[in-house]
């Protein structure tokens, strides 16, 4: 397949950046999206050009590194899929694809498609943990957890912190990410002692990072590779309001 | 946003129920309008309750708009560089458009609505006419464009509320995994009831049920 790419190129944080067109001729439908970029990069290296910088790690859909907005959709058109698990068979010969980095002030561009997501780390540092030593995994029956709570906590815990929610949100809000972390710990017994302080600290850190406010548009859920539900935002708001009383 | 929105929704419910009194005839409708001005008398001076309502509503509207502007400004700051590509599948952007631009349309409509039916400045019957006559004159067939504007604005209010009501519950942390779906359905139903209630009056005037 012949694919035309319009890729965001930016030399560094202070560079203005621009979209550059590349034609990739020998794309196989079996390639993943990242493998297609690898082919482009190998060619760029051979011709002495600077390869396109992009984040990637596990390439099996669980690490959340492959941050790129493909034709305006974070992680591309396939629902509940990371970029690395998107395959070129979803495109056809002659297609033009625009690739941009996550666009959010708290995620500054490092180079090309790579953004700095340390803002998420700082939100976790503000309270996304349990300070008491929880020891090794307890026997399953020693600390009963209601089935609904266990399911909801697990669903929230599947968040891989990729930042697609922020990238898709028309407000640039990090409510889905922060909500997922608060819900995950807030539903389990181990998370109870610090529950309210956690919600307050994490929400305040989220705001301090410069993320926008949530207006419940649901754009985040539509692009989340793990299908995190909008319900986590309701739970975050409930805990935050209680903690502010 | 959520708290002021809730005040405005409660007002809209009362407003719609009041409007429906027009089906009880000119006497009942005008008497209801008069009652709104005299309720509480003689314990409190005339118009006390109405004036208080007007103050609460004005404050709610101002704070609602202020919150919306603050959110939009934060959103602008959070994404200084826009995307070059237009999103395809996921993004209807329905909620953003209907809340921000729809909200602006509603604000413009409220100005017209007050000039037309409250102050009577742009009403053919004039401000001194009885409320019933003002309604009938406003929705006269010869002023079809006014009625059309009213229809568009009321439907816009309905769409605004379809997202707004459940969104307010979510913002106030009153949704959980198991109730959010039901709250969304209920907010869509309430929006539909309000739209139908508000539209029933101009329709009744147009087909001659109310004249």
Q: What is the CATH number of the domain that holds A21?
A: 3.10.20.30
User: Is the backbone of residue B125 left (phi > 0), alpha (psi -120 to 50) or beta?
Assistant: alpha
HEC readout, chain A: CCEEEEEEECCCCCCCCEEEEEEECCCCCCCEHHHHHHHHHHHHHHCCCCCCCCCCCCCCCCCCCCCCEECCEECCCCCCCCHHHCEHHHCCCCCEEEEECCCECCECEEECCEECCHHHHHHHHCCCCCCCCCCCCCCCCCCCCCHHHHHHHHHHHCCCCCCHHHHHCCCCCCHHHHHHHHHHHHCCHHHCCCHHHHHHHHHHHHHHCCCCCCCCCCHHHHHCCCCCCCHHHHHHHHHHHHHHC
**pLDDT greater than 80 at residue B87:** no
In this structure, are A161 and A221 located in the same domain?
yes
Domain end, chosen from A56, A89, A110, is at A110
Q: What is the mean pLDDT of residues B133-159?
A: 93
What confidence score (pLDDT) does residue A59 get? 96
Determine the longest span between alpha carbons in chain A, in angstroms.
Answer: 62
Q: What is the CATH number of the domain that holds A147?
A: 1.10.1060.10
What confidence score (pLDDT) does residue B211 get? 84
What confidence score (pLDDT) does residue B97 get? 80
In this structure, are A187 and A234 located in the same domain?
yes
Give how far A208 is from chain B: nearest CA, Å. 11
**pLDDT greater than 90 at residue B88:** no
Distance of CA A169 to the CA centre of its chain: 12
Given an 8 Å threshold on Cβ–Cβ distance, is B79 in contact with A218?
no
Flag the least confident range among A16-20, A141-145, B35-39: A141-145
Domain end, chosen from A75, A110, A145, is at A110
pLDDT in tens, A69-120: 999 999 999 999 999 999 999 999 999 999 999 999 999 999 999 999 999 9
A98 touches chain B (CB under 8 A): yes
Q: In chain A, which residues have their Cβ closer than 8 Å to the Cβ of B166?
A: 216
In this structure, are A124 and A238 located in the same domain?
yes
What confidence score (pLDDT) does residue A19 get? 97
In this structure, are A78 and A182 located in the same domain?
no
In this structure, are A101 and A146 located in the same domain?
no
In this structure, are A127 and A215 located in the same domain?
yes
What is the distance between the alpha carbons of residues B158 and A25, in angstroms, rounded to a whole number?
51
In this structure, are A132 and A235 located in the same domain?
yes
Total structural domains within chain A: 2
In this structure, are A97 and A127 located in the same domain?
no
In this structure, are A92 and A201 located in the same domain?
no
Domain end, chosen from A81, A110, A139, is at A110
In this structure, are A139 and A104 located in the same domain?
no
Q: Which of A81, A170, A183, A236 to mutate to test the interface with B (most CBs of B within 10 A)?
A: A170
Q: Which of B78, B100, B160, B161 to mutate to test the interface with A (most CBs of A within 10 A)?
A: B78
In this structure, are A77 and A123 located in the same domain?
no
In this structure, are A232 and A133 located in the same domain?
yes
A227 touches chain B (CB under 8 A): no
User: Is the backbone of residue B129 left (phi > 0), alpha (psi -120 to 50) or beta?
Assistant: beta
pLDDT in tens, B162-210: 999 999 999 999 988 788 889 999 999 999 999 999 999 999 999 988 8
Q: What's the pLDDT band for B92 if we cut at 50, 70, 90?
A: low
Give how far A106 is from chain B: nearest CA, Å. 7
Range of the domain at A163: 117-244
């Amino acid at each position: 397949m012949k694919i035309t790419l319009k890729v965001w190129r930016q030399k560094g944080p202070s560079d203005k950046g621009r979209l550059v067109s590349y034609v990739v001729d020998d794309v196989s439908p079996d390639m993943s999206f990242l493998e297609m970029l690898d082919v482009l990069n190998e060619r760029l290296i051979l011709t002495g050009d600077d390869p396109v910088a992009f984040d990637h790690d596990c390439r099996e859909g669980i690490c959340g590194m492959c941050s790129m907005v493909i034709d305006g959709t974070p992680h591309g058109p396939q629902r509940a899929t990371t970029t690395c698990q998107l395959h070129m068979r979803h495109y056809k010969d002659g297609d033009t694809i625009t690739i941009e980095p996550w666009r959010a002030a708290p995620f500054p561009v490092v180079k090309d498609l790579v953004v700095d997501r340390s803002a998420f780390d700082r939100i976790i540092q503000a309270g996304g943990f349990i300070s008491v030593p929880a020891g090794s995994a307890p026997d399953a029956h020693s600390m009963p957890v209601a089935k609904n709570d266990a399911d909801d906590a697990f669903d929230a815990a599947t968040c891989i912190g990729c930042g697609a929610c922020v990238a898709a949100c028309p407000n640039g809000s990090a409510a889905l990410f922060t909500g997922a972390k608060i819900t995950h710990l807030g539903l389990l017994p181990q998370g109870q002692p610090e529950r309210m302080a956690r919600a307050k600290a994490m929400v305040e850190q989220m705001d301090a990072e410069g993320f926008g406010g949530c207006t419940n548009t649901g754009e985040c859920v539509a692009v989340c590779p793990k299908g995190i539900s909008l319900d986590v935002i309701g739970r975050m708001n409930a805990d935050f309001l209680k903690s502010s009383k | 946003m959520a708290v002021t929105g809730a005040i405005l929704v409660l007002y809209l419910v009362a407003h719609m129920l009041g409007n429906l009194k027009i089906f009880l005839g000119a006497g009942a409708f005008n008497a209801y309008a008069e009652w709104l001005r005299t309720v509480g008398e003689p314990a409190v001076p005339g118009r006390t309750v109405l004036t208080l309502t007007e103050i609460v509503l004005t404050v709610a509207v101002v704070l609602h708009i202020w919150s919306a502007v603050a959110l939009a400004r934060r959103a602008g700051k959070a994404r200084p560089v826009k995307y070059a590509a237009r999103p395809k599948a996921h993004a209807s952007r329905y909620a953003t458009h209907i809340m921000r631009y729809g909200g602006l349309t509603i604000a413009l409509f409220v100005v017209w609505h007050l000039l037309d039916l409250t102050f009577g400045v742009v009403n053919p019957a004039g401000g001194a006419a009885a409320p019933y006559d003002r309604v009938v004159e406003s929705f006269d067939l010869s002023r079809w464009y006014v009625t059309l504007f009213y229809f568009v604005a009321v439907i816009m209010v309905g769409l605004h509320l379809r997202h707004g009501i459940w969104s307010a519950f979510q913002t106030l942390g009153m949704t959980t995994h198991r109730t959010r779906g039901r709250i969304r359905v209920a907010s869509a139903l309430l929006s539909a009831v309000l739209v139908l209630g508000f539209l029933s009056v101009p329709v009744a005037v147009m087909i001659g049920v109310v004249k």
